Structure 1
Amino acid sequence: MNRPGLVVILAFVAALAGRFTLTRIGLDVPILNDVRVPLYLVLLLCLMLESHRLGPRSAAGTYCVLPILGLFGYQLLSVTWAPSHAVTGPMSGDIAATAFLVGVYAAMARWDRDHVTHVTLCCFHAAAWVYLLAASTGRGHAPGGRWAALGGGPNVFVRVMILGVITSIYLYLRSGDRLRWLVPIPGFLFGAIASGSRGGMVALAVTIGVALLAVRPRPRWNRLARPAGLLLVLSVFLAVTAGPTIADFVQSRFVEATVGQGYTSDRDVLFAWALRLFWQHPLIGTGLNGFHAIADLGEGERYVHNLPLSVAAEGGFVGLTLLGLAWFMLWHAYIRAPRTERGLAARTAAYGGIFIGATCLFSGDYFDARLMWILLVLAAVRSRPVGISGGRPLPA
């Protein structure tokens, strides 16, 4: 069977590019200004041209995609009861774009899940290098010295950095414990800290906790000695050489502002407003973009920065139920697979999705959750040759 090649890389670029517009590089082209339009059209055309190569494959776990699409459909339907002054067009486009990407990755996972996941993880690793090198030049930094790159904010930057860490470990394990794949980890962690994203660091801690509880079999300490020693040496070297450049920033951002002053970037205000709107509209919520329209906290606070609370405020109990069902079905499809079909790539995608999901508790809107849905779909949906069901040949 032919494996998907460039179409996977194109899908990755389309997913990572987000809302990148040509105005960021000084161009203004109507319709095509939003790069999602040409990218998605080309991606759709490539998938259609390659569809005849799908071959004799079946898919397991595809049912987990239906609740996700159901959630997106409900959110688009909620436009009908949104406040009359709510601007729903851009957010509707974001949700439709996320649904499109989820459908694309589900189709590619049915094609050849392991290959698609491997290529996608390698792309994330390469992207982490590009972002780190771009940020290290000093360009693209956010106000206050927070590291960012390529037009994305610090909260985007930290996600790419930690995915770089996760994919470094994946490539190390896949290569047979070749230490060179671990070398960039201290640099990626340095970039994550330099982003100043407190939510990103908490999400990393959550992911590590989940991994420690789930990893089987338990790693042997003698096997961890060499990589741990290498990482320790590299981390000390990096801290001595580059640490002073962000020492004052770390002190002011993480210690003085967070611990000393209790600064929360107004997350407490946003979360309180979301809960208030949920209690006022408990069944179906305020409708799409109702939070921004009703709370009216200014252009800088257009969304809740917490996925479940945002769904609760704008979709009510029905939306929360659909969100919970989508997460449950992804988990169910993943654990239902025989352990032999939950390979290293699928497990890595699951941890990456968990990390992005944890960051969605502190930053981002509906479209910023797209990488979570994509990675979790790659972990849950799996392809098989026809005639295989649950690892056993079907009877003739």
Structure 2
Amino acid sequence: MTTRAPEARPGLVVLIAFVVTLAGRFTLERVGLDVPVVNDVRVPLFLVLILSLVLEAHHVGSRPVEGGQALLGILALIGYQALSVLWVPPGAVTGPMLGDLLAITGLLVVYFNLAAWDRDRVTATTLKLFHVTAWIYFLAAASGRGHQANGRWAALGGGPNVFIRIMILGMITSLYLYLRSGEKVIWLAPIPAFLFGAIASGSRGGIVALAITVTVALLAIRPRIDFERIAKPLALVAVLGTILVITAGPSIAGYVQSRFVEATLGQGYASSRDVLFQMALGIFLQRPILGTGLNGFHTVTDLGFGERYVHNLPLSIAAEGGAVGLALLVAAWAGLWRAYVAVPPAERSLEARVAAYCGIFVGAAGLFSGDYYDARLMWILLLLAAVRPAPAPVLAR
């Protein structure tokens, strides 16, 4: 009698991929070091990631996959963006942007292969890692480390707009762990803390992105809402949230009043986003077919070091890629959607649904902050929601 060897599962490579993804553009210069080639930590991290993927995948071999067209749509958009360096204005600096696009491509290829291997396990591990990361960021910010001069919460070298994305992803993954654990309410306890951190970040765009995500989720699950089932969890979150506001609220009350009420509602302050959006739209109208090319917005507007990008993904692609770029963006989203809905709702895994909502949130946040590389989480999460291993063929007897 022979014993069947256990099937290989993705392990350490998922953790390495998460670290590479989360690291962003972290450089050694931030900690006072200057090491040629590896100053951009993505260089050594990507080498380790690719090597670990090759070593682990060697035990598995090639796997049939469903939803692969979703990756092709994203890569078509990225390829076009890279090609647009051919018509950038004189003096445009495109090297760093090309490096970002190459890094996104590498991450997408890695996660595509991981999803083809064992999508639900990879996604579950990634969601848990986001939850742990949210706690690390929250505790770091709550200790006072990383705050900006104006009091906005941030942590570990990232700005407030990065911080709120981690906080909201922490909230979503709390719900995921609650559902995955058989509805143990202890997993809902972090939600008020993460929401408090999100508000303390002062990121108005992040709050709007959360509202967009909640609206989409409610529209999707509205026919299946069981109010009796959710009453207890909602009561717990409300009680914990009230306690948190009473105990810690006064520490940020003045800041919330000035940031959200007086500046936003009273003065209509939009952190120059309205000006940037108008500039991007103007460039698009001047160059409606191909746009101004990669990083052309920064070159044409000449706004200096502080404002290098539009802070809105569709408008940025419209300005720098024109109608062709917008069409490819829509096609990429449509390809992800078609691959996602190809699985009937009753057969769709919890991991796929949660990854989709996480991707929607990051995408909505990209309407108010960030650049092309900041959108990597959106592409990765939506790819994990859409791509899946093909079912094993049924052998005829």
Structure 1 counterpart of 2:178, from 149, 172, 175:
172
| Cα distance per residue 1:46-94 (max 9 Å; x no partner) | 1111122225742100111001001101000101110120110111111
Other structure's SS at 1:71 match: helix
| Cα distance per residue 1:204-240 (max 9 Å; x no partner) | 0000000001126522111112111111110010000
Contact 1:128 1:164 in 2 (8 A): yes
Aligned to 2:228: 222
Contact 1:57 1:385 in 2 (8 A): no
> Any runs of at least 4 consecutive aligned residues in structure 1 with deviations exceeding 4 A, and if so which?
none
Contact 1:109 1:382 in 2 (8 A): yes
Q: Does 286-295 or 208-217 show the bigger shift?
A: 208-217
TM-score by length of 2: 0.96
Counterpart Cα distance in 2 of 1:293 and 1:260: 34
Counterpart Cα distance in 2 of 1:265 and 1:394: 61
Aligned length: 391
Counterpart Cα distance in 2 of 1:253 and 1:54: 53
| Within-5 A mapping of 1:242-391 | 242-387=248-393
Name the CA shift for 1:394/1:322 in 2 (closer, same or farther; >3 Å). Answer: farther
Name the CA shift for 1:394/1:207 in 2 (closer, same or farther; >3 Å). Answer: farther
Counterpart Cα distance in 1 of 2:96 and 2:60: 34
Aligned to 1:29: 35
Counterpart Cα distance in 2 of 1:154 and 1:54: 41
| Cα distance per residue 1:139-172 (max 9 Å; x no partner) | 1112311000000000000000000000000000
Counterpart Cα distance in 2 of 1:67 and 1:57: 20
| Within-5 A mapping of 1:109-128 | 109-128=115-134
Contact 1:56 1:385 in 2 (8 A): no
TM-superposed deviation, 1:178: 0.3
TM-superposed deviation, 1:321: 0.4
Q: Does 316-325 or 47-56 show the bigger shift?
A: 47-56
Counterpart Cα distance in 1 of 2:222 and 2:118: 25
Counterpart Cα distance in 2 of 1:305 and 1:180: 37
- Work out whether 1:159 is the aligned partner of 2:160: no
Aligned to 2:206: 200
Structure 2 unaligned segments of length 5 or more: list them.
Answer: 1-6
Counterpart Cα distance in 1 of 2:313 and 2:332: 13
Counterpart Cα distance in 2 of 1:125 and 1:395: 44
TM-superposed deviation, 1:394: 7.0
Query: Which AA in structure 2 matches 1:201?
Result: I
- Work out whether 1:11 is the aligned partner of 2:17: yes
Aligned to 2:195: 189
Superposed CA RMSD: 1.2
Counterpart Cα distance in 1 of 2:209 and 2:362: 8
Aligned to 2:154: 148
- Work out whether 1:87 is the aligned partner of 2:99: no
Query: Which AA in structure 2 matches 1:155?
Result: N
Q: Percent identity?
A: 65
Query: Which AA in structure 2 matches 1:250?
Result: V
Aligned to 2:239: 233
TM-superposed deviation, 1:384: 3.0
Query: Which AA in structure 2 matches 1:325?
Result: A
Query: Which AA in structure 2 matches 1:313?
Result: A
TM-superposed deviation, 1:319: 0.3
Name the CA shift for 1:313/1:394 in 2 (closer, same or farther; >3 Å). Answer: farther
Contact 1:334 1:381 in 2 (8 A): yes
Counterpart Cα distance in 1 of 2:106 and 2:395: 33
Contact 1:67 1:325 in 2 (8 A): yes
Counterpart Cα distance in 2 of 1:161 and 1:246: 17
| Within-5 A mapping of 1:99-118 | 99-118=105-124
Aligned to 2:4: none
Counterpart Cα distance in 1 of 2:199 and 2:396: 55
Counterpart Cα distance in 1 of 2:369 and 2:396: 50
Counterpart Cα distance in 1 of 2:335 and 2:62: 26
Query: Which AA in structure 1 matches 2:278?
Result: A
- Work out whether 1:52 is the aligned partner of 2:28: no
